[in-house]
Amino acid sequence: MRKIIIAIDGFSSCGKSTLAKDLAKKLHYRYMDSGAMYRAVTYYLMTHKIDYTEIEKVKEALQHIHIDFHFNKETKNSDTYLNDVNVEEKIRGMDVSQHVSNVSTIKEVRYAMVAQQKKMGKQKAIVMDGRDIGTAVFPDADLKLFMTANHEIRAQRRFKELQAKGEDVTMDEVVQNLAERDHIDSTRKESPLMQAEDAIVLDNSHLTKEAQMEFVYNLVMEKKLMEESVE
């Protein structure tokens, strides 16, 4: 069957990466977490004490940032590497979450990340999740999903995730962080988060993981068959 590109966009903590990872496994496709790249840049700036409002310094820093992904045999997921160091755990914490939306508004940061993401899509057979995948990175993606979930459910999911990692964080802080990121991500000038015209909306507030997968897998199968019959 023909290989396709699947773009999954949506707000923070809507379950995009869980779905994208599971789908990639099921299809034997590659999974690319574009948010991890913005997180890795943010982590680099934080650890090098670079103020993200100083654009010249950020541009210089981008020359020294190399991000890639390697399969982790233990977790069976791909881990994010920043300059050959595994930063998978470090980029998921609340400290990075507090700055990442601001860093990802920077035009130069976006250009650098989007260029790398486009390269990763060249061979197709990829599931990529983020905020601008269906609109800016792969506007011609074969299947575009736009995920949403109700605010409370998103906050609870994120809170549980952080707690499981042993982070000392309150529910209020999580709610506030999600609201702030939603606002920055969807109102920024450079490729803001928005639903692509041809995206299919998936509200998973009350869907089980299995029901959600069945829905999406059926869409993928329809898409692949449709393309085969066109060829």
Binding residues for ligand DC (CB under 6 A): 12, 34-35, 38-39, 100-101, 104, 130-133, 181, 185
Helices 94-103 and 171-187, axial angle in degrees (round to 10): 20
Helices 209-230 and 16-27, axial angle in degrees (round to 10): 50
- If the CB atoms of residues 161 and 222 are measured against ligand DC, the closer one turns out to be 161
Distances (CA, A) of 12 to 47, 171, 193, 203, 227: 23, 15, 10, 13, 31
Minimum distance of ligand DC from residue 14's CB (angstroms):
9
State the Cα–Cα distance between residues 19 and 24, nearest whole angstrom: 8
Minimum distance of ligand DC from residue 19's CB (angstroms):
12
- If the CB atoms of residues 178 and 220 are measured against ligand DC, the closer one turns out to be 178
- If the CB atoms of residues 133 and 220 are measured against ligand DC, the closer one turns out to be 133
- If the CB atoms of residues 88 and 132 are measured against ligand DC, the closer one turns out to be 132
Long-range CB contacts for residues 86-95, cutoff 8 Å, separation at least 24: 87/40, 87/43, 88/36, 89/165, 90/43, 91/36, 91/39, 91/40, 91/42, 91/43, 92/39, 92/165, 93/162, 93/165, 93/167, 94/162, 94/167, 94/169, 94/173, 94/177, 95/46
State the Cα–Cα distance between residues 41 and 90, nearest whole angstrom: 12
Minimum distance of ligand DC from residue 35's CB (angstroms):
3
Amino acid identity, position 216: V
Minimum distance of ligand DC from residue 45's CB (angstroms):
13
Minimum distance of ligand DC from residue 222's CB (angstroms):
26
- If the CB atoms of residues 39 and 144 are measured against ligand DC, the closer one turns out to be 39
- If the CB atoms of residues 12 and 78 are measured against ligand DC, the closer one turns out to be 12
Minimum distance of ligand DC from residue 113's CB (angstroms):
7
